[in-house]
């Protein structure tokens, strides 16, 4: 029987990381190399030919979950011919799911070592680029219905991400109102608010704010380098 062709190195790494993720979620840094190898379906020696150490594997797993790749893989399979509300519902469902998965990993492994200023800035730049990649993918799915919106597709993409983050982020839940004031985390509920607002019927009698003419820089607050610098 012919031997199966070996996967390219990056695909092999991703396959192992996806396989060991449940073990890390369950045991955090206490997961043994034997548990990790068994989950990946390889020998321990094979595991450490791909990753130099358990810490390198955990670092790569965090990078994979914080990155845009897993989110984009799921967004890419959304049918662009679906009605706008259904497309947005699928997007919101994916963003909520990915947020939960990422925080589960981060909670399991615990806080990282205190980063240097350079590391903080590099991490900030990396995360901003990952967010932009997701925003571009969401914008592309909204674009066909641009003519129906009072905001641009890019602005709606930003609203989608911001609203999902504010409503579903596990670290923000204890700051939010108790029931019944809390907004539902159901994707359909979030999309309904995004598309139709809080009014039962539109009663606007004068022109509203011209979102399309507003400068994006006036609508966003950028994180400054000084805000990221460690306290003295």
The count of structural domains within the chain is 2
- C-beta of residue 80 within 8 angstroms of C-beta of residue 141: yes
Per-residue pLDDT tens digits for 158-205: 999 999 988 877 777 666 656 555 677 889 989 998 888 877 776 555
Residue 194 three-state SS = helix
Domain boundary residue, one of 24, 43, 61 = 61
Burial 188-213 (b: 16+ CB within 10 A, else e): eebbeebeeeeeeeeeeeeeeeeeee
User: Can you tell me the distance from the alpha carbon of 35 to that of 206, in angstroms, rounded to the nearest whole number?
Assistant: 64
Q: Are 50 and 79 found together in one domain?
A: no
Per-residue pLDDT tens digits for 55-107: 999 999 999 999 999 999 999 999 999 999 999 999 999 999 999 999 999 99
Which two three-digit tokens encode residue 108? 């399991």
- Quick check: is 140 in a domain? yes
Q: Which domain holds residue 90?
A: 67-228
Per-residue pLDDT tens digits for 8-29: 778 889 999 999 999 999 999 9
Which two three-digit tokens encode residue 121? 């800035």
Please give the distance of CA 8 from its chain centroid, rounded to a whole number.
26
User: Can you tell me the distance from the alpha carbon of 103 to that of 66, in angstroms, rounded to the nearest whole number?
Assistant: 9
Task: Please say whether the dihedral angle defined by the alpha carbons of residues 32, 36, 38 and 43, taken in this order, is positive or negative.
Answer: negative
User: Can you tell me the distance from the alpha carbon of 43 to that of 48, in angstroms, rounded to the nearest whole number?
Assistant: 9
Domain boundary residue, one of 41, 61, 81 = 61
First to last CA, the chain: 65
Does the predicted model carry a pTM greater than 0.85? no
Domain boundary residue, one of 61, 81, 99 = 61
Which two three-digit tokens encode residue 3? 């031997």
């Amino acid at each position: 029987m012919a031997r199966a062709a070996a996967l390219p190195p990056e695909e092999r790494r991703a396959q192992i990381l996806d396989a060991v993720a449940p073990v890390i979620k369950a045991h955090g840094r206490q997961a043994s190399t034997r548990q990790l190898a068994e989950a990946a379906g390889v020998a321990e020696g094979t595991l450490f030919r791909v990753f130099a150490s358990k810490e390198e594997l955990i670092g790569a797993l965090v990078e994979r979950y914080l990155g845009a790749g897993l989110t984009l893989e799921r967004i890419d399979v959304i049918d662009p011919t679906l009605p706008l509300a259904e497309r947005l519902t699928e997007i919101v469902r994916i963003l909520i799911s990915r947020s939960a998965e990422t925080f589960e990993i981060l909670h399991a492994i615990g806080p990282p070592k205190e980063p240097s200023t350079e590391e903080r800035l590099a991490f900030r730049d990396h995360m901003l680029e990952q967010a932009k990649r997701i925003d571009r993918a969401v914008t592309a799915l909204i674009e066909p219905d641009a003519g129906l919106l009072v905001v641009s597709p890019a602005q709606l993409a930003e609203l989608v991400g911001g609203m999902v983050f504010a409503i579903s982020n596990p670290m923000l839940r204890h700051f939010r109102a108790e029931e019944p004031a809390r907004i539902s985390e159901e994707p359909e509920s979030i999309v309904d608010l995004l598309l139709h607002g809080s009014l039962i019927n539109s009663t606007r009698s004068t022109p509203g704010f011209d979102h399309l003419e507003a400068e994006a820089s006036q609508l966003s607050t950028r994180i400054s380098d000084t805000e990221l610098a460690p306290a003295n």
